[in-house]
Amino acid sequence: MAQAHEARARLCAAHDWDESAVELVPVVASGDKVLDRPLAEIGGKALWTRELDHWLLEGRIDAAVHSMKDVETIRPEAITIGAILPRADKADRLLGAASIADIPAGARVGTSAPRRAAQLLYLRPDLTVVGIRGNVATRMAKLEAGEADATFLASAGLDRLGEDGVGIRLDPEQWLPAPAQAAIGLECRSDDTRVRDLLAAVDHAGSHAEIRAERRLLEGLGGSCSSPIAALSRRDGNRITLSAAIFSPDGKVRIADDTCFEIEDRTAPLDLARSLLDTAPPAVAVHFGGAA
């Protein structure tokens, strides 16, 4: 809902509308209903989009607001990304310790994200990962209740909820974030030219280019919600530097590489994906559909 409020504020500012011109329609996604199992066991990223897709295609809403890291790589042709808002802080934050190195030996770290779990175990194989899901408030409450000794949350989500002082920011150059992390996307029907034009007014070209590149990397890897993938884009003028890493789920193996390319280049992220998969041993590559 915080993301929806931001989207409405930007649309109203861009078109000089009163706030009442944009109605917010809450839709509870399946991913928010089932919190006791990993996403991969109950349907993957589609759990965050399924209900919104149905409402959009039925014409009950004109646009859907998404956290882009939770949107499947391959989307229905009838739906298009109409805008990416200016991207927020891409970093993760660590709650419960001053740094990864400072987490006590043998501690339980709560996360259901394969990327965070594998990246953590690569750096600290002595730690134990325990599953923990839910929104920001739920996960902070679980940490407070002692269900885990430490956990991770996205800086962008905390900032949007006014929790900018919570946790320790992890340098995204060292602790790579999730592809498309910190980006709010607005989707609409592909054939709805009126809404597409309205959304275009709030599209941030640079952020959109980063998200396009990172989602293209995911496409090349065949990544799903169960694939440990980390990525970071940096823009410099009309060029993007994209760093990426894939892991074995237990964190014992890390394969990393990077590339630099023109913003319009749709092939370079695919080439990076192929480089990662070609380097990965079979025990890692088997977790990525692009290895086929």
Residues catalogued as catalytic: 70
Contact 184, 3 (CB under 8 A): yes
Q: What letter would DSSP give residue 167?
A: S
Residue 220 has a CB neighbour count (10 Å cut-off) of: 24
CA of 110: how far to CAs of 139, 144, 149, 154, 219, in Å? Answer: 9, 12, 7, 14, 28
The single residue listed with the structure tokens 């998969």 is 277
Helix segments in the chain, DSSP class H: 2-15, 39-42, 50-57, 114-123, 136-144, 155-160, 193-200, 205-221, 268-279, 282-285
How many residues are given for the chain? 292
The span from the CA of 237 to the CA of 241, in Å, is 11
Q: How far apart are CA 158 and CA 174, in angstroms?
A: 20
- CA quadruple 235, 4, 57, 133: dihedral sign: positive
State phi, psi for 166 to the nearest 5 degrees: -90, 135
- The DSSP line for 102-142 is TSPTT-EEE---HHHHHHHHHH-TTSEEE---S-HHHHHHH
